Amino acid sequence: MTLVILLLAGLSACGDPKSEAQNTPQPPPAVPVSIEVVQPITLKDVMVLPGTAESYQDVLLAAEQEGQVQWIGAREGQQVKKGQLLAKIDVDAKKAALNRARAAYELAKSQAARRLKLHKLKVVPQEDLDKATTQQTLAKSDLEQAKIAYQQGFVHSPIAGVINRLHVDPGEFIRRGAPLAEVVDVANIRLKCNVPEMDVRYLKAGQQALVLIDAYPEDKWPGKLSFVAYKADPATKTFEVWVDVDNTAGQIRPGMIGRAAFLRREITGAVTAPLSALVDKGGERIVFVEQDGKAQARKVELGVISVDRIQVLQGLKAGDQLIVRGQKLLEEGMRVIAK
């Protein structure tokens, strides 16, 4: 009797639909994803290169004559204009020498004039006239030299800029050719960059660029290429380019590190994807597209990177439903639901 009851209970359990449903494997739930419809765009191929800021002009003034530094009219950090007087070197002594040379010339000039009158009157021979004329010529030459020496005692700035350093103080004796002051033009800054040989063909003088300085991460400066080297550096095989920047505000200082962004070209009708949409599967770059509610993996060939997007040369086409969020959780054929 007990055996019969157990058999009936077993048959009853085998015929229960609820029990059968519980034992059937359930498909995994659909993965929530975000989708972007692929559309061709104009892609800007931008190249960013590091560089170092330099002053547009950097002049080291040297003494043209030796002597005592009598006066200095500027200090470090002071703005100066082009032609502004910066220092006087032994000008009192040179002024006295100039006065003596001028007096000697006037005397020689008057003597030559008298000799000429007397020669016309047949009073003095030609030899005396020649000597007087020669003395006048020599005196004039001495006067010109004295003028030059006197003028060289006044040191003027050849450019507008800032006194970066003074090498002497008033009262010091300075030798000819010794450094006197360093003047830098900081109103204009030049960023020097090195361009790889494969990219130099895209650049030319006069081209616009955008300059970023690491010390001012929130600021950007418009710049212009002023020079593209025709010969590569033999050590680095790169070509030097100069980007000139208006620095009237004086924020950028020579020696600062920055970057310059150059537009190499514009690609029209480019198929692109966000960089974040790429997935690395075993060393291969793939993207996922949604098709009929399922994820389809596509191996892609990549091209130019522009900011946060990348050109897709093969593997993606206009109109595809590109999965841009949730793709890292997907495998081929998994069900997805767009949100």
> How far is the C-alpha of 54 from the C-alpha of 77, rounded, in Å?
17
Which residues neighbour 184 within 8 Å (Cβ) at sequence distance 6 or greater?
Answer: 55, 57, 58, 59, 161, 162, 164, 254
- The chain-wide mean pLDDT, for the chain, equals 89
Of 81, 75, 79, 98, residue with least CA distance to 153? 98
Residue boundaries of the structural domains of the chain: 48-56+185-266, 91-152, 271-338
- pLDDT of 138 > 60? The answer is yes
- Give residue 128's pLDDT band: very low, low, confident or very high (50, 70, 90): confident
Fold observed for domain 48-56+185-266: Elongation Factor Tu (Ef-tu); domain 3 (2.40.30)
Confidence at residue 20, expressed as pLDDT on a 0 to 100 scale:
52
Confidence at residue 23, expressed as pLDDT on a 0 to 100 scale:
61
Of 172, 185, 190, 165, residue with least CA distance to 61? 165
As a whole-number percent, the residues of the chain with pLDDT over 70 amount to 92
What percent of the chain is helix, strand and coil (3-state, nearest 5)?
A: 25, 45, 30
Of 254, 276, 262, residue with least CA distance to 324? 276
- pLDDT of 96 > 90? The answer is yes
> How far is the C-alpha of 63 from the C-alpha of 69, rounded, in Å?
10
- Give residue 123's pLDDT band: very low, low, confident or very high (50, 70, 90): confident
Least confident of 114-128, 202-216, 316-330: 114-128
What are 175's two structure tokens?
Answer: 């030798």
Confidence at residue 183, expressed as pLDDT on a 0 to 100 scale:
95
Q: What is the pTM of this model?
A: 0.66
What are 51's two structure tokens?
Answer: 């560089």
The gap between the terminal CA atoms of the chain, to the nearest Å, is: 61
**Mean pLDDT, residues 114-132:** 87
- Give residue 18's pLDDT band: very low, low, confident or very high (50, 70, 90): low
Confidence at residue 56, expressed as pLDDT on a 0 to 100 scale:
87
- Give residue 16's pLDDT band: very low, low, confident or very high (50, 70, 90): low
Fold observed for domain 91-152: Helix Hairpins (1.10.287)
- pLDDT of 5 > 50? The answer is no
Q: Is the Cα dihedral 148, 152, 156, 159 positive or negative?
A: positive
- pLDDT of 28 > 70? The answer is yes
- pLDDT of 103 > 50? The answer is yes
Instruction: Tell the residue number behind the tokens 């890292």, with chain if given.
Output: 328
Instruction: Indicate the class that CATH gives domain 271-338.
Output: mainly beta
DSSP 210-264: EEEETT-TT--EEEEEEEE-SS--TTT-EEEEEEEEE-TT----TT-EEEEEEEE
- pLDDT of 3 > 50? The answer is no
Integer-rounded Cα radius of gyration of the chain: 42
Q: Residue 21, SS3?
A: helix
The string over 121-152, giving b where at least 16 C-beta atoms fall within 10 Å of a residue's C-beta and e elsewhere, is: eeebeeeebeebeebbeebeebbeebeebbeb
> How far is the C-alpha of 33 from the C-alpha of 318, rounded, in Å?
19
- pLDDT of 11 > 50? The answer is no
**Mean pLDDT, residues 90-113:** 93
Of 72, 75, 76, residue with least CA distance to 91? 72
How is residue 200 annotated by DSSP?
G
- Give residue 4's pLDDT band: very low, low, confident or very high (50, 70, 90): very low
Encode pLDDT of 152-196 as tens digits: 999 999 999 999 999 999 999 999 999 999 999 989 999 999 999
Do 80 and 164 contact (CB within 8 A), yes or no? no
- Interhelix angle 91-120/126-152, rounded to 10 degrees, is 160
